Structure 1
Amino acid sequence: MTPEEIARASADAMWSTDRASQHLGMKIEHIAPGQATLTMTVTEEMTNGHENAHGGYIFTLADSAFAFACNSYNAVTVGQQASINYVSPGKLGDVLTATATEASRTGRSGVYDVNVTNQDGRLVAHFRGLSRSIKGNYLPE
């Protein structure tokens, strides 16, 4: 299998049991080694008391993109630390796009940056996640 095929097959295996991302209406738009792009529409149930997208949902979208990017090598990988900076509010009806890119991957550790934008390309948040590979694979060796 090519690296792209491994990334896609790993994502398909993960997606099959990722009930949280599925329940929130996320869609995988792009998968490649060390990369993932997911989208999610902000629904009424995702808004806070300011009628903006609740930060927890924005974080969850970014975290899911991070997860698919760092699990694109057929190695079960978990997040060990993550942080987010909210730049501008998401609004009801916005289609948010989380684009995860590998910044570094050495041994079992990785660093990933995720930008969350709205449908107009406006930056909503920046997320950085640190990953750690553990035992297990998605595909037969």
Structure 2
Amino acid sequence: MFEADAASAALGIRVEHALDGAASARMTVTDTMVNGHGIAHGGYIFLFADTAFACACNTYGPVTVAAGAEITFVTSARLGDELTAVAEERTRYGRNGIYDVTVYRETPEGREVVAEFRGRSRTIAEVQPRES
């Protein structure tokens, strides 16, 4: 799934781990991700967390998509920040799941949380790729 994800690839997102309902990814905040306030646009942080969520909930095989998600921005990310997103499954029931993703950066003082994301997944029938 991730190998065909052009949106995540365009942002330079790198998946480091994806197995058994968990995933981790990294992304560097680039100049095209910074808004008019000089901080990372929240939409990019959401997309980054959503990518880690997607990788975690698709580790079991069947096609799984987001049924909903929410994010809480804890602090701002800035140009050049190297962010990590860690996704962890909280529960699966039937075709549904709940996953939490923490987005953070390492600082000299330690880990600083940038955002907390909660995603709700739904396993669906196999999706056929669109023809060009």
Alignment RMSD: 1.0
Give the structure-1-normalised TM-score: 0.85
Following the alignment from structure 1 to structure 2, what is the Cα–Cα distance between the partners of residues 135 and 33? 20
Which residue does the alignment assign to 1:84? 71
Query: Could you say which residue in structure 2 is the equivalent of 1:25?
Result: 12
How is 1:117-132 mapped onto 2 (pairs within 5 angstroms)? 117-120=104-107, 121-132=111-122
Unaligned stretches of 5+ in structure 1? 1-13
Q: Give, in whole Å, the separation in 2 of the partners of 1:42 and 1:86.
A: 15
Calculate the TM-score normalised by the size of structure 2. 0.91
Matches of 1:16 and 1:117 in 2, distance apart?
Answer: 24
Aligned residues with identical type, % of pairs: 52
Q: What are the within-5 Å matches in structure 2 for residues 43-122 of structure 1?
A: 43-120=30-107, 121-122=111-112
| Number of residue pairs aligned between Structure 1 and Structure 2 | 124
For 1:30 and 1:95, locate their aligned partners in 2 and report how far apart those are by CA, in whole Å.
17
Instruction: Determine the C-alpha separation between the residues in 2 that align with 1:36 and 1:83.
Output: 18
| Structure 2 unmatched runs, 5+ | 128-132
Give the AA of the match of 2:77: G
Q: Distance in 2 between matches of 1:53 and 1:118?
A: 13
CA drift of 1:106 comes to 1.1
Aligned to 1:136: 126
Query: Tell me, what secondary structure is at the counterpart of 1:103?
Result: strand
- Stretches of 4+ moved more than 2 A in 1? none
Query: Which amino acid letter does the alignment assign opposite residue 76 of structure 1?
Result: V
Deviation at 1:81, TM superposition (A): 0.5
Structure in which a larger fraction of residues adopt helix = 1
Deviation at 1:26, TM superposition (A): 0.3
d(CA) in 2 for partners of 1:15, 1:85: 24
Shift of 1:15: 1.8
